């Protein structure tokens, strides 16, 4: 009988400890889960309060900055750089004597004369006249444009002179001493018949 009392007392004691232990274990598990999932399901009670900061923006003195930058940087005209070539153009005569252009125009004239002819039908009909053509070349000698500046009054003569320039092109590239990008050249053509006496 004594044995039964001890066993029942021991089991009673066990029961009393199991409930609080289980309760305590449950609380620990729940707290752990809440802490573990805090990032996924945030709870406002555990968060620290956000702080607000006030920032004052001060506008810089623009006039002083512009003034200082002008003083520090040199004028554009003072910066030394070598442009590859001037973007200018020059207008010259095919018969120019200017030492800068004469050697080059001499070559052009020879090439044009090799293609320039007096049309047979104009000679047979005693057609004469003089005209001026302006043609434009780029630095590499390409013919950009050619126009009759002053007509001879005879289409056959004008056409043949234009044809001579177009057939002679492309011309040689500009020599180094000619620094312009384009040359406009005035070329005079005179068709005159020679009569034997």
Give residue 14's pLDDT. Answer: 60
Spans in the chain with pLDDT lower than 70:
1-19, 37-87, 196-197
Give residue 73's pLDDT. Answer: 55
* Contact predicate 137/155, CB 8 Å: no
Write the DSSP symbol of residue 172.
Answer: P
Give residue 28's pLDDT. Answer: 86
Give residue 101's pLDDT. Answer: 94
Chain-centroid distance, C-alpha 151: 43
Give residue 69's pLDDT. Answer: 62
Give residue 24's pLDDT. Answer: 79
Q: What is the pTM of this model?
A: 0.55
Give residue 29's pLDDT. Answer: 85
The Cα–Cα gap between 63 and 135 comes to 53
Write the DSSP symbol of residue 46.
Answer: G
- Grouping H, G, I as helix, E, B as strand and the rest as coil, residue 190 is strand
């Amino acid at each position: 009988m004594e044995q039964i009392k001890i066993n029942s007392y021991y089991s009673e004691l066990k029961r009393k400890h199991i409930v609080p232990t289980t309760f305590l274990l449950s609380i620990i598990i729940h707290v752990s889960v809440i802490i573990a999932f805090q990032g996924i399901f945030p709870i406002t009670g555990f968060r620290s309060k956000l702080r607000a900061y006030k920032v004052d923006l001060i506008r810089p003195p623009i006039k002083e900055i512009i003034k200082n930058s002008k003083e520090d940087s040199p004028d554009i005209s003072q910066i030394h750089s070598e442009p590859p070539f001037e973007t200018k153009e020059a207008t010259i005569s095919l018969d120019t004597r200017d030492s800068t252009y004469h050697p080059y125009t001499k070559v052009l004239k020879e090439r044009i004369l090799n293609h320039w002819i007096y049309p047979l039908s104009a000679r047979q009909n005693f057609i004469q006249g003089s005209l001026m053509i302006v043609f434009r070349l780029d630095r590499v000698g390409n013919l950009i444009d050619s126009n009759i500046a002053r007509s001879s009054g005879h289409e056959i003569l004008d056409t043949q002179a234009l044809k001579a320039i177009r057939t002679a092109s492309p011309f040689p590239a500009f020599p180094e001493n000619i620094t312009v990008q384009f040359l406009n050249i005035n070329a005079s053509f005179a068709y005159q018949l020679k009569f034997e006496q």
